[in-house]
Amino acid sequence: MIGVMTISATLHDKRRPIASRLGRTLIVLLLFVPVGMVALGSGFGIIPLPFEMFVLAENMPVIFRAHMVAAAFALLLAPVVIAVRHRPELHCMLGRLLGAFVVVGGLTALPVAIFSHSGMIARAGFFMQGLVWMALFIAGFMSIGRGDRSRHIRFMVAMVAVTTGAVWFRLMTGTAIALQLPFEPVYAFAAWAAWIAPLTVVVMFPKSVAKALA
């Protein structure tokens, strides 16, 4: 009987990481991929833009579209870079590519935020997100350059958390529209909360993050 119970417990323990990986894959497929593809379509002019974004694209076509495309590729590539973390050469190559998209997306986010037709609070939120996004990547890149793998992981996970702000921002604003909530206050709130909330989670619960990445 004890042997049967031990085998059962072992099988249960093996199922948990499989279920966890399946859950993360579903999140990527259902949330990250659609948002990334829509951003790519908008950046390449395939998907029509909302009026405010259309005006911005007309005023600064190169910068705006570069931001949309770079940020979209960063969002789509981040889960792949995490998935290949146990394959150093591939992880390093894709990580540098991801970093290039983050730098381009972050730099172009600054003028896009400044000249956006959003309110001051929302623009400040987008501007700060761009700065924090780039700062975390640079810190993570410098850490691995010094051979400090643990700090590299912490900074890069935080950077990816900020990257996911694009997903949560669209969920928040989409929910506001669906529930017919006052849009401008929700938009301003989401411009900050969408990236600060996931960043706070990974900073406050480092052990849970490390366990998920083990």
Half-sphere exposure of residue 133, counting CA atoms within 13 Å on the CB side? Answer: 33
Domain boundaries, the chain: 33-213
Flag residues of the chain having pLDDT under 50: 2-14
Is residue 199 classed exposed, middle or buried when 0-12, 13-18 and 19+ CB atoms within 10 A define those classes?
A: buried
Question: Which of 154, 128, 169 has the alpha carbon at shortest distance from 32?
Answer: 169
* 8 Å CB contact between 127 and 109: yes
Asked if 70 contacts 105 with a C-beta cutoff of 8 angstroms, the reply is: yes
Look at residue 8 in the predicted model and tell me its pLDDT.
Answer: 45
**pLDDT value of position 10:** 44
What is residue 214's predicted lDDT score, i.e. its pLDDT? 66
Could you tell me where the beta strands, DSSP code E, fall in 43-174? Answer: none
Q: What is the pLDDT of residue 3?
A: 45
State the pLDDT at residue 183: 85
